Amino acid sequence: MNFGLTDEQKSLQALCRDFARKEIIPRRDEWNRTGRFPAEVFRKMAELGLMGLLVPEEYGGTSVGAVAYVVAMEEIAKADQSVAAAWNAHLTIGSLPLLYFGTEEQKRRWLVPLARGERLGAFGLTEPEAGSDARAIRTTASPDGDGWVINGTKMFTSNAGTEMSLGVIILAVTGSRPDGAREYSAFLIERGTPGFHVGRLIPKIGWHAVDTRELVFENCRVPGDHLIGARGVGLRQFMQALAIGRISVAALSLGLAQACLEVSLDYARQRRQFGQPISRFQAIQFKLADMATAVENARLITYKAAWLYDQGREFAKEAAMAKLYASDTAMHAAVEAVQIHGGYGYTDEFVVSRFFRDAKILQIGEGTNEIQRLVIARLLGC
Ligand SMILES: Cc1cc2nc3c(=O)[nH]c(=O)nc-3n(C[C@H](O)[C@H](O)[C@H](O)COP(=O)(O)OP(=O)(O)OC[C@H]3O[C@@H](n4cnc5c(N)ncnc54)[C@H](O)[C@@H]3O)c2cc1C
C-alpha cells in the first residue's frame, strides 16, 4: 500500500496551491461579499488546463485521474468554497454525463468547449417538489416531430446563469414503460433556447459567489440530438454522475476541514489568555486533536474512493461514505474553528465565519447525508 503522491499529482497540487494563493485568496472576500461569480478566475483556470481534469485529451481535457483530481480540489477548496463548488459542479455532474453517455457528435459539440473551459457546465435534477426523491420530478419532455418539447421547473441549479454557462443537462420524464413505471431521459438545453428561462439568483447562507438559480422551461423545443445517449436511461445516467460527484463533494469538504484546522491551529498558538497561548489549554488541544484526526480519516476515505474509481472498480459505497464523513467533518470543524476563535470567529473579519456559512450545504448538496446513509445501507445489502 502506497500513501504517497506521484510526481504528476504533486505538481498538480503545487499548481493549484500557487493559483489559489495568487488568484483566489486575495479576491475571495470581494466575491463573497458581493455574490459576484468570478468568471475571470475560471478563464485563468482554463488556461492552466484545469477545467477538464476528468475528461480525456481527445475531448479537450487533461484526464489526470480521480486521485489527482481530489488533490487539486482540496487545494482550491481550502482557498474558497464558492470557486471550488462551482468548479466541482462543472467538472463532474456538469460535464461527465456527456463523456459517459453522449454521442460522438455531442462530445465534440459540447464536451470539448466545457473541458477546455470555454463554457461552464450545469446539472439540473432538483425540482421544487423533488429533492431527495429524484423519481418524483415533474419536468416532462414530449416527443414533437424530430424533437422534444420540455416543460417544468428545476430548483437550485448551480452554474446555469453565468456569462460562461453553456446551458444545463436536465432529467425529464419522457413517458411510461409497458409496466407503468415512469421513463426518464436526459437532455442538454443550451442557454438562449426559446422557452428556457433563467430565474433570479437565490440568496443563500453561504457559497455566496456560486450562481444558484431556478430554471423554468415553458414549451421549450429542442432538436432530437439534444437527448443525451439513449431514451429511457436518464435516471441511471444521473445516478452514475452523482456517484463520482460525491467523491468531488468529499474533496470539497476535505479542503474546508483542512482550512479550519490550519487557521485554528495558527490562531490558538498566537491568541493569549491567562498569560499563555490558548493552545496550551487542554480543552483547545483536544478540539484541535479531534479535528486533525477527523480530517485525516476524511482524507483516507476520500482518496480510497478516488483510487477505486481510477482502478475501474466499484466505488459507489466508498464515494457515499466519503461524502457523508467528509461533509460531517467539515461542518464540525467549522463549528469548532469558530469556537476556538471566540468572539472574533463570529465576525466577518475572520475567515472562519465564512467557513461556518459554507460548511452546511456540504451535508445537503448532491444527496443529503441522510440519503448517503440510505445508499450505503443499500450497498451493504440491507
Ligand atoms: C446551494 C445549492 C446548490 C445546489 N446545486 C444543485 C445543482 O446544481 N443541481 C441540482 O440538481 N440540485 C442542486 N441543489 C439541490 C440539492 O441537491 C438538494 O437541495 C438536495 O438534494 C436535497 O433536496 P431538498 O432540498 O428538496 O430536500 P428534501 O429532499 O425535501 O429533504 C428535506 C429533509 O428530509 C430528509 N429526507 C428526505 N427523504 C428522506 C428519506 N427517505 N429518509 C430520511 N430522510 C429523508 C433530507 O435528508 C432532508 O434532511 C443545490 C442546493 C443548494 C442549496
Our answer on whether the CB atom of 364 is closer than 6 Å to any ligand 1 atom is yes
Determine the pLDDT at residue 317.
97
Residue 164 identity: M
Q: Residue 190, SS3?
A: strand
Our answer on whether the CB atom of 368 is closer than 6 Å to any ligand 1 atom is yes
Our answer on whether the CB atom of 370 is closer than 6 Å to any ligand 1 atom is yes
Closest CA to 158 of 91, 105, 238, 226: 91
Residue 197 identity: H
Cα end-to-end span (Å), the chain? 30
The residue contributing the CA closest to ligand 1 atom 37 is 132
Sign, CA torsion 40/201/126/142: negative
- What is the H or E stretch that residue 244 is in? helix 234-270
Task: Give dist(CA 102, CA 22) in Å, integer.
Answer: 36
Exposure pattern of 128-162 as b/e (b: 16+ CB <10 Å)?
A: eebbeebeebebebeeeeebbbbbbbbbbbbbbbb
The residue contributing the CA closest to ligand 1 atom 50 is 156
Task: Give dist(CA 53, CA 61) in Å, integer.
Answer: 6
- In order of 162, 280, 287, 334, 336, the CA distances from 283 in angstroms are 45, 9, 7, 17, 11
Q: Which residues contact 270 (CB under 8 A, 6 or more apart)?
A: 277
Our answer on whether the CB atom of 40 is closer than 6 Å to any ligand 1 atom is no
Which residue's C-alpha cell is 454525463?
97
Cell of 168: 444545463
The residue contributing the CA closest to ligand 1 atom 35 is 370
The residue contributing the CA closest to ligand 1 atom 27 is 131
Say what the pTM is. Answer: 0.97
CB 75 within 8 A of CB 20: yes
- What is the H or E stretch that residue 167 is in? strand 167-176
Q: Residue 302, SS3?
A: helix
Determine the pLDDT at residue 50.
98
In this structure, the chain runs to a length of 382
Helix%, strand%, coil% for the chain, nearest 5: 55, 15, 30
Among 139, 153, 368, 373, which is best to mutate for testing ligand 1, by the most ligand atoms less than 8 A from CB? Answer: 368
Task: Give dist(CA 91, CA 279) in Å, integer.
Answer: 39
Active site residues: 366
| Ligand 1 centroid to residue 253 C-alpha, Å | 17
Determine the pLDDT at residue 1.
83
Task: Give dist(CA 268, CA 337) in Å, integer.
Answer: 10
What's the number of CA atoms in the CB half-sphere (13 Å) around residue 190?
A: 13
Our answer on whether the CB atom of 207 is closer than 6 Å to any ligand 1 atom is yes
Atom of ligand 1 nearest to the CA of 89: 8
Which residue's C-alpha cell is 476528468?
54
Cβ-based neighbour number of residue 273 at 10 Å: 11
Determine the pLDDT at residue 232.
95
Our answer on whether the CB atom of 322 is closer than 6 Å to any ligand 1 atom is no
Our answer on whether the CB atom of 139 is closer than 6 Å to any ligand 1 atom is no
Distance, C-alpha 57 to centroid of its chain: 22
Among 126, 207, 375, which is best to mutate for testing ligand 1, by the most ligand atoms less than 8 A from CB? Answer: 126
Our answer on whether the CB atom of 121 is closer than 6 Å to any ligand 1 atom is no
Closest CA to 53 of 40, 67, 39: 67
What's the number of CA atoms in the CB half-sphere (13 Å) around residue 172?
A: 29
Our answer on whether the CB atom of 144 is closer than 6 Å to any ligand 1 atom is no
Atom of ligand 1 nearest to the CA of 160: 8
Determine the pLDDT at residue 2.
87
CB 294 within 8 A of CB 270: no
The residue contributing the CA closest to ligand 1 atom 7 is 157
CB 148 within 8 A of CB 187: yes
The residue contributing the CA closest to ligand 1 atom 4 is 156
Closest CA to 312 of 66, 9, 27: 66
| Ligand 1 centroid to residue 344 C-alpha, Å | 32
- In order of 51, 59, 350, 355, 356, the CA distances from 104 in angstroms are 20, 10, 48, 41, 43
Which residue's C-alpha cell is 483530481?
69
Among 133, 364, 375, 376, which is best to mutate for testing ligand 1, by the most ligand atoms less than 8 A from CB? Answer: 364
Task: Give dist(CA 305, CA 245) in Å, integer.
Answer: 11
Our answer on whether the CB atom of 332 is closer than 6 Å to any ligand 1 atom is no
pLDDT in tens, the chain (382 residues): 889 999 999 999 999 999 999 999 999 999 999 999 999 999 999 999 999 999 999 999 999 999 999 999 999 999 999 999 999 999 999 999 999 999 999 999 999 999 999 999 999 999 999 999 999 999 999 999 999 999 999 999 999 999 999 999 999 999 999 999 999 999 999 999 999 999 999 999 999 999 999 999 999 999 999 999 999 999 999 999 999 999 999 999 999 999 999 999 999 999 999 999 999 999 999 999 999 999 999 999 999 999 999 999 999 999 999 999 999 999 999 999 999 999 999 999 999 999 999 999 999 999 999 999 999 999 999 9
